Amino acid sequence: MKATLLTALIAATATLTGLVSKVETASAAGFTWNNAWAQPTISSESKTGFNDTPFQQFVQKESVAIPNSGQFKLDPSKLNLKYNYNVSVDFINEGASFRNQLAFNATGTTNKSGLIFKDASCDGVSGCMMGGGVSSLNFGDGVNIGNIAGGTQLDFFLKANGLNNPNGNIFGTQTASNADGLQHVVAYAYNNYIILGFEDLYGALHATGNLNQNSDRDFNDLVVVLDIGEANVRELISATVPEPSVTLSMFAVGAVSMFGLRRRRQTRTSN
């Protein structure tokens, strides 16, 4: 049985001399999703040498919310890379009924944006959180987004069911820019990498009208690893401000009914 993300992080801390800390990233203004983006080259683990296995323990169980208290945030501006690095993003797992997409935005010294995964689905792959459907990615499949110069801010965006719906909801790393006002990305520094977990449904909050999709807040709808280089990760950790997060909306375990689970699985459609 997999440990929850929080439990696994505590265990990792003991063996990795404390190199586990929470990260929050800030979204850059002016990002536009381009539906004409083509899927960039996807490289397998056999080609890149990346090993997804140590990261699978951090994939949260379905419909179990991640606690967001007692962990240490980084300054939201600190996903700004200090050093030049050839950045890549590797797929870990997903527990979504949607066929989600992932994109990035770089602003500052380097200015560019683009698609990472056109179809971030692993159904049918042994060990995938969502089984029995269409498979697009294998664990550890990666995309290189190129050389990013020091002084560049990186941000990431998920388009919910983007493969099937070009007008799908877009959730980014800046909570205030999400239509429901909730956090939709969590990130952790681990073993010189950054783990990013995404939530693809609107959650209940004031003034959201009919946007509420009863998000289960498990942040496993897409889990990827960001390789920005050891030096950059250490800079992020060294800038950690010891301020415990108190985002109360993430305390509650998302109770998803059998009807709801059935409905979500039935909504998955193939390309």
DSSP 46: H
Per-position pLDDT tens, the chain of length 271? 334 443 343 333 333 333 444 554 444 457 899 999 999 999 999 999 999 998 888 787 665 555 443 333 454 445 889 999 999 999 999 987 889 999 999 999 999 999 999 999 987 778 888 765 667 899 999 999 999 999 999 999 999 999 999 999 898 887 777 777 777 888 788 888 888 889 888 776 544 555 666 666 678 889 999 999 999 998 988 876 444 332 222 222 222 222 333 334 444 444 4
Within a domain: 33: no
pTM: 0.75
30 Cβ partners below 8 Å, 6+ apart? 107
Q: What is the CA radius of gyration of the chain?
A: 17
Long-range interactions of 196-199: CB distance < 8 A, separation 24+: 196/156, 196/222, 196/223, 196/224, 196/225, 196/226, 197/5, 197/58, 197/59, 197/60, 197/66, 197/222, 197/223, 198/100, 198/102, 198/158, 198/171, 198/222, 198/223, 199/171
**Which position has the token pair 């536009």?**
32
**In the prediction, which pLDDT does 189 show?**
82
Within a domain: 98: yes
Within a domain: 35: no
Q: Torsion over CA of 117, 122, 128 and 134, rounded to 10 degrees?
A: 150
**In the prediction, which pLDDT does 85 show?**
98
Task: Domain of residue 140: give its range.
Answer: 5-28+40-267
Within a domain: 34: no
**Distance between CA 245 and CA 83 in Å, rounded?**
28
**Cα–Cα nearest to 143, from 116, 171, 115, 169:** 116
Q: Is 167 exposed, middle or buried (0-12, 13-18, 19+ CB in 10 A)?
A: exposed
Question: In the beta sheet, which residues pair with residue 20?
Answer: 190
Within a domain: 44: yes
**Distance between CA 85 and CA 80 in Å, rounded?**
12
Counted domains in the chain = 1
Within a domain: 213: yes
